[in-house]
């Protein structure tokens, strides 16, 4: 098999691995640019079809593959491919202040290089009302790791504790001892008994006992 065909096979296998990774990451309309590194080494001919296998494709800039000639005494060479991945991701349309809930007008979808970004976001509804832990410039890619859900219950604020059991709903007043976002479990003091319970935040000022219902 000519060396050029081997390079094409490596490129195709790299593209397949990238497509799988992009699908797992939920990337929107991903595009791949792949370069198989060639050197002055002469690849000998092989009496059988050359086998190509992935050795390590985790680093997109150093995807390693092995080409081998499957005959007694055959050769085995490591091949290196470099990839650039672009996709449509959520970016800011204007400067964003830290810890300020994002509005739909603050963000848009745009194609960006995400080769070195493993936690980009591809859905605008998924980040609306969330806030960034740091200030962002216009045009920056939003990353899941820098986003936080808005605080719905503040420490020391009055809350309503609602418990559901079968067809019965019980509601009582309480005081939040911790701050919490939707779905987080915080400590809440029952206003009438003084008992401290673990409660899950449902919405602003509303919690439920963490050991009853919930997710």
Show the 3-state SS of the chain: CCHHHHHHHHHHHHHHHHHHHHHHHCCEEEEEEEEECCCCCCCCCCCCCCEEEEEECCCCCCEEEEEECCCCCCCEEEEEEEEEEEEEEEEECCCECCCCECCHHHEEEEEEECCCCCCECCCCCCCCCCEECCCECCCCECEHHHEECCEEECCCCEEEEEEEECCEEEEEEEEECCCEECCCEEEEEECCCCCEEEEEEEECCEEEECCCCCC
What is the per-residue pLDDT for 15? 96
In the CATH scheme, what is the code of domain 87-148? 3.90.1210.10
- The ranges of the chain annotated as CATH 2.30.30.760 are 151-209
How much is the pLDDT for 3? 61
Residue 12 has a pLDDT of 95
Q: Where in the chain is the domain with CATH 3.90.1210.10?
A: 87-148
Cα–Cα distance, 96 to 132 (Å, whole number): 8
pLDDT value of position 197: 94
pLDDT of the chain, 215 residues: tens digit per residue: 566 789 999 999 999 999 999 999 999 999 999 999 988 778 888 989 999 999 998 899 999 999 999 999 999 999 999 999 999 999 999 999 988 889 999 999 999 999 999 999 999 998 988 889 899 999 999 999 999 887 889 999 999 999 887 778 889 999 999 998 888 899 999 999 999 999 999 988 999 999 864 44
Contacts of 21 (CB under 8 A, 6+ apart): 57
- CATH code, 151-209: 2.30.30.760
């Amino acid at each position: 098999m000519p060396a050029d065909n081997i390079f094409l096979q490596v490129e195709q296998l790299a593209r397949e691995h990238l497509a799988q990774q992009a699908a797992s990451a939920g990337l929107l309309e991903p595009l791949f640019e792949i370069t198989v590194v060639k050197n002055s080494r002469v690849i000998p001919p092989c009496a059988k079809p050359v086998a190509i296998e992935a050795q390590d494709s985790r680093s997109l800039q150093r995807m390693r593959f092995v080409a081998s000639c499957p005959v007694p005494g055959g050769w085995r060479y490591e091949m290196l491919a470099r990839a650039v991945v672009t996709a449509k991701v959520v970016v800011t349309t204007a400067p964003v202040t830290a810890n300020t809930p994002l509005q739909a007008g603050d963000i848009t979808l745009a194609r960006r290089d995400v080769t070195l970004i493993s936690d980009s976001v591809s859905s605008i509804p998924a980040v609306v009302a969330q806030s960034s832990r740091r200030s962002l410039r216009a045009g920056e890619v939003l990353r899941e790791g820098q986003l936080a859900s808005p605080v719905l219950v503040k420490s020391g604020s009055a809350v309503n504790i609602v418990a559901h059991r079968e067809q019965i709903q019980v509601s009582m007043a309480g005081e939040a001892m911790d701050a919490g976002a939707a779905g987080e479990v915080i400590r809440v003091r029952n206003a009438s008994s003084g008992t401290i319970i673990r409660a899950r935040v449902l919405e602003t000022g509303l919690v439920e006992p963490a050991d009853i219902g919930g997710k």
